[in-house]
Amino acid sequence: MLQPDQSIIEVCHVVNDMDAALNYWINVIGAGPFFIGDMELTENQTYRGKPAEVSIQVAFGFSGGLLIELVKPLRAVPSIFSEVLDSRGPGFHHVMLRVDYDEGFKRLSDAGYEVASHGTLPSGERCTLFDTQRDSNGFVELMEMSPLIARQFGNMERAHLEWDGHTDPRRSLAAAFA
């Protein structure tokens, strides 16, 4: 079952080597299967208040009701992900809260956290990462949970629940939208 409302639904790690990270999360931790794809977002993106591009490889896989996200920058462009890799190397990057987007935005803003990255996904959902490093050594992500995103999460969770832990551990991200 997906994590309940008002909880952390996702933990993200930024990586230099996607294959090594997938081997760890699949073979050591037992998460998966992972859905992998590239994302090139060139419009409606900001990083530290300036127009930006997002060029990343992502992998999503569940561990119980918690979604694990792995992110590898694909190009040498300034981003919220390269910032962490350049400053402290691979590892923890952010958590995503399962809250109403506007409610979460107000909560984090009222707590004094600044927007580090903001964008709109190709399907229209708003996605914002707040800089919470002073308290967590990472960021907090908010994303609108549209029916499309909910279906994607549900498909990945169902694949996890039905997975034998060995068969087809790496899948196309497109398969999560089927």
Parent domain of 143: 7-167
Q: Peptide bond preceding 51: is omega within 30 degrees of 0, i.e. cis?
A: no
Residue 148 maps to a domain? yes
- Spatial contact of 42 and 28, defined as CB atoms under 8 Å apart: no
Q: 113-117, 146-150, 151-155 — which one is most confidently predicted on average?
A: 113-117
Residue 159 belongs to a domain: yes
Mean pLDDT of 138-161: 94
DSSP 8-class letter at 132? -
Q: Decide if 1 is inside a domain.
A: no
In a domain, 178, yes or no: no
Give how many domains the chain has, as a whole number: 1
Within a domain: 176: no
Considering the chain, what percentage of its residues have pLDDT values greater than 90?
90
- Taking the C-alpha atoms of residue 59 and residue 13, their distance in angstroms, rounded to an integer, is 10
Q: Bridge-partner residues for 139, per DSSP?
A: 94, 131
Distance (Å, rounded) from C-alpha 111 to C-alpha 129? 14
**pLDDT score for 177:** 84
User: Does position 22 have pLDDT exceeding 90, yes or no?
Assistant: yes
Answer for the pair 141, 128: CB distance below 8 angstroms, yes or no. Answer: yes
Residue 77's Cβ-side half-sphere holds a number of Cα atoms within 13 Å equal to: 16
**DSSP annotation of 3:** P
Q: What pLDDT shows up at residue 1?
A: 65
Average pLDDT of every residue of the chain: 95
pLDDT over 90 (residue 33): yes
CATH number, domain of 91, equals 3.10.180.10
Q: Is residue 2 part of a domain?
A: no
pTM of the model: 0.95
Q: What is the DSSP string of 74-125?
A: -SS---HHHHHHHHH-SEEEEEEEES-HHHHHHHHHHTTPEEEEEEE-TTS-
pLDDT tens string 66-125:
999 999 999 988 999 999 999 999 999 999 999 999 999 999 999 999 999 999 998 899
